[in-house]
Amino acid sequence: MTTYPPSISITPKAKIDETLDVPGSKSLTNRAFVVASLADGISTLRGGLIAEDSEVMIKALNALGLIVEGPVISNQGTTFTVHGRGGNIPKNQAELDLRLSGTSIRFLTAMVALGQGKYKLDGNERMRQRPIQDLLGSLEKLGVKLGTEFETGCPPVVVEANGMKGGVTSVAGDRSSQFLSGLLMSAPYAKESVTIHVTGELQSKPFIDMTLKLMGDFGVSVERNGYASFTIHPQVYKARDYLIEGDAMAAGYFWAAAAITGGRVKVTNVGLTSVQGDKRLASVLEEMGCKVTWTDTTCEVVGTQNLKGGTFDLNDMPDQAQTLAVVGLFASSPVRIENVWNMRIKETDRLAALNVELTKFGAKVEEGQDYIVVHPLKNYPQSVDVATYGDHRMAMAFALAGLRIPNITIQDPACVAKTFPEFFDVLTAL
């Protein structure tokens, strides 16, 4: 894995002209690990992500007695082999260190509820500040005994598992869609049917579509009433050979690079057929004046010398907000990003962090509870030292500004290892 220095300076680029693959989707990789581990039989996962978040998930599954082999890297790409146990959790006791992997702690809290024994799920300091009580309340209604160790509503989580009874529950939709995804993926192995009602506005709906599509691909059906309720009857996932598509979030950085430089970037493993909602960033860039060309498996963005601003609801893809905010520095009019409250409970308070770092560039920034407005730069700064808050997406998004503005330094570039360890290598090679 790439080793980075304490800080890295970005070299401005002339007009970019590049065709590239991006790593496998983190969201799909971790979902596939969970579903394949619950399946009956041995699954082969191709194209999966090799990064801290996926390594954290693999280590946790192995600690539960579930065998994940790999990665095996060849000319055909990356391969993992997952030995499913048909919904059984082999170990009856485990302590899982999930660091800052939100998908891991939320998916596995629901998954270990299927076991028989005592499980503790913890993470780093920031993870201990990220609310999870809504998920725990949902699981309690399904007959699971669990709670937070320090009664803070945040990890560490302690689960005293005796299987998941089933029944009717509800989950808050306005916190994180990962709560619902975790419940959905484990529900087929409850003793009785599970019905989940969603309260409040569901965030990041495409991620639920992704979860349901993956479950269906592994042989489990879900009855649904839009995004209001879901019913899952007892079923078994079937092991299979499964291809994981490229990460649309990662693709977004390079599409944005084309927009910022007026260049061209074609990503060859994210296209129209992608199940990831984050691919919509390309369409937002098109609204801003870029030329976008799609095929089923590719997306090409060609930048413009006159990027337009606008108002964009990113509720369905909040992880693209930092990227779009940085693009906004170079637009001809303000960019308003709204309906993204849950950015405040990510790896850092991303709205607050964006405000601080964009202001360093001399930009006028307006921050509200669930929105941010970025006004275009009138003049380029002499230099900017960008803090990243241990947040991989802050590092990758702000690195894009350095493609146009000299003397941009990114602190703690190694934080990109969470989802895209080779990011700066790829960016430098453009």
What is the per-residue pLDDT across 2-53, written as a single tens digit (0 to 9) for each? Answer: 789 999 999 999 889 999 999 999 999 999 999 999 999 999 999 999 999 9
**Where does 278-320 have alpha helices with state H?**
281-287
Examine the domain organization and report whether 202 and 66 are in the same domain: yes
Residue 2 lies in a domain: no
Torsions phi, psi of 144, nearest 5? -100, 135
Verify that 269 and 218 share a domain, yes or no. Answer: no
275 and 172 assigned to the same domain: no
CATH of the domain at 396: 3.65.10.10
How far, in Å, CA of 112 to CA of 102, rounded? Answer: 16
- What is the CA 356 to chain-centroid distance, rounded? 23
Q: Are 328 and 335 in contact (CB under 8 A)?
A: yes
Beta-strand (E) ranges in 123-173? 145-148, 157-162, 167-172
Give the domain extent around 371: 7-23+246-429
- Judge whether 1 lies within some domain: no
Residues 47 and 19 in one domain: no
Residues in a beta bridge with 40: 85, 238
SS3 260: helix
State how many domains the chain has: 2
Q: Which of 221, 243, 265 is the last residue of a domain?
A: 243
63 in a domain, yes or no?
yes
Residues 6+ apart with CB under 8 A from 83: 37, 42, 66, 67, 68, 69
What's the average model confidence in pLDDT over 353-379?
98
Is the pLDDT assigned to residue 331 strictly greater than 70? yes
Asked whether 314 and 340 are in contact (CB, 8 A), the reply is yes
Mean pLDDT of the chain: 97
Same domain, 285 and 228: no
Residue percentage of the chain with pLDDT more than 70: 100
Same domain, 283 and 233: no
Q: Are 217 and 321 part of one and the same domain?
A: no
**Residues 277, 291 within the same domain:** yes
Last residue of a domain, one of 193, 211, 243: 243
Which amino acid makes up residue 115? G
Q: What is the rounded distance in angstroms from the CA atom of residue 370 to the CA atom of residue 174?
A: 12
What was the pLDDT predicted at 43? 98
Question: 391 in the Ramachandran plot: left (φ > 0), alpha (ψ -120 to 50) or beta?
Answer: beta
pLDDT digits (tens, 9 = 90+) for 203-251: 899 999 999 999 999 999 999 999 999 999 999 999 999 999 999 999 9
Q: Which two structure tokens, joined as six digits, stand for 300?
A: 């090409």
- Site of tokens 């050979």: 241
| Cα–Cα distances in angstroms (integers) from residue 381 to residues 282, 348, 376, 401, in the given order | 28, 25, 13, 11
Same domain, 348 and 425: yes
Assigned domain for 179 exists:
yes
pLDDT higher than threshold 70 for residue 417: yes
Check whether 175 has a pLDDT greater than 90.
Answer: no
Residue 137 lies in a domain: yes
CA dihedral 22, 26, 31, 37 (to 10 degrees): 90
Residues 256-271 pLDDT 10s: 999 999 999 999 999 9
Q: What is the pTM for the complete model shown?
A: 0.95
Sign of CA dihedral 75, 68, 240, 37: negative
Asked whether residue 168 is domain-assigned, the answer is: yes
User: What is the mean pLDDT of the segment spanning 180-184?
Assistant: 98
Q: What is the pLDDT of residue 81?
A: 98
- Order of strands, sheet of 145-148, starting from the edge strand that comes earlier in the sequence: 93-97, 116-122, 157-162, 145-148
- Type and span of the H or E element at 27: helix 26-38
Q: Cα angle vertex 198, ends 196, 202, to 5°? A: 135
Q: Which of 243, 271, 300 lies at the terminal end of a domain, its last residue?
A: 243
Which tokens hold the place of 290?
């870029």
What per-residue confidence (pLDDT) applies to 76? 77
What's the pLDDT at 360?
A: 98
**Mode of pairing for the β-strands spanning 167-172 and 291-294:** unpaired
The whole-angstrom separation of Cα 58 and Cα 63 is 9
So what's the pLDDT on residue 2?
76
For the residues 386-396, what does the mean pLDDT come to?
Answer: 97
SS3 321: helix
Please tell me the predicted confidence (pLDDT) of residue 419: 96
Q: Are residues 423 and 344 in the same domain?
A: yes
**End-to-end Cα spacing for the chain:** 20
Tell me whether residue 302 is in a domain.
yes
235 and 354 part of one domain: no
Burial code (b: 16+ CB inside 10 Å, e: under 16) for 20-35 equals bebbbbbbbbbbbbbb
**Is residue 19 located within the same domain as residue 34?**
no
- Tokens 């900017």 belong to 384
**Quick one: pLDDT at residue 189?**
98
pLDDT at 3: 86
- Does any domain span residue 305? yes
Question: Residue range 101-111: average pLDDT?
Answer: 97
pLDDT for 194 beyond 80: yes
User: Which of the residues are catalytic?
Assistant: 319
Question: For residue 196, is pLDDT > 80?
Answer: yes
Can you give 349-405 as a three-state secondary structure string? Answer: CHHHHHHHHHHHCCCCEEECCCEEEECCCCCCCCCEEECCCCCHHHHHHHHHHHHCC
pLDDT at 1 over 70: no
